[in-house]
Structure 1
Amino acid sequence: MAMRIDKSQSRTPATAPETENRQRVESSQHGFSVDLSKESDQQVRQHLEELLGKIQQQGKRLGETPTFSELKSYRELVKKFMSEAVGKMYDVESGAGWDRR
């Protein structure tokens, strides 16, 4: 008895689930990366806003009592804010070139 093989069926249905799973995993990893980046950005923004609030308060104190110590405190807060803002800017710049596959 001869065995007949139907050549009209393609092999793609057998490999399709593997491809779907791979795409689903890559999609979920990309989604996680995006979510993590958004959360990190939100925390940085919140921290910078807190620093700005402290700078404004210190600026008011400096306006009321213009002493060297108040000026020094104000200067340190501004320096810290600028350092963190510029540092985050460089993080974003270097992160833009990553291959996120």
Structure 2
Amino acid sequence: MSDGVEEREVPDAESDPDGTDGGGGSRVDAEGIVPYVRWGALLALGVLAVVAAAGLYGSLSSIISVWIGERYRPIARAVFNFGVLCVAAAGMAVLLRRR
């Protein structure tokens, strides 16, 4: 029978002791924060890796300048840069395949 009055479900006191439905509170769950902390840590480690890679690249270029004669430096740098390019391309290919 429909007498114009809608029946509403009353929250159970045991399942929801504070009387709220849990939908709009400002309470933060640890499970909700964990992915953001992981992404933040990944971002920080990524920045650290980029800085370290740039330093390594500069150091290896200096080593080429010290250990290899002037006549062969362009060849050594070309081989080194080609190797860096191959590693970068392989890393990008792996990341794009996982997508």
TM-score (norm 2): 0.54
State whether structure 2 residue 23 is matched by structure 1 residue 10: yes
Which one has the largest radius of gyration?
Answer: 2
Residue 24 of structure 1 deviates from its aligned partner by 0.7
Percent identity between the two aligned chains: 6
State whether structure 2 residue 34 is matched by structure 1 residue 38: no
Q: Point out 4+ residue stretches in structure 1 off by more than 6 angstroms.
A: none
Name the CA shift for 1:41/1:95 in 2 (closer, same or farther; >3 Å): farther
C-alpha separation between the residues in 1 aligned to 2:90 and 2:44?
Answer: 20
Residue 20 of structure 1 deviates from its aligned partner by 1.1
RCO comparison, higher one (Cα < 8 Å, 6+): 1
Alignment RMSD: 3.3
Name the CA shift for 1:38/1:94 in 2 (closer, same or farther; >3 Å): farther
Q: Could you tell me whether the CA contact under 8 Å between 1:48 and 1:85 is conserved in 2?
A: no
- Mind listing any 5+ residue stretches in structure 2 that lack a counterpart? 1-11
Report the number of matched residues.
81
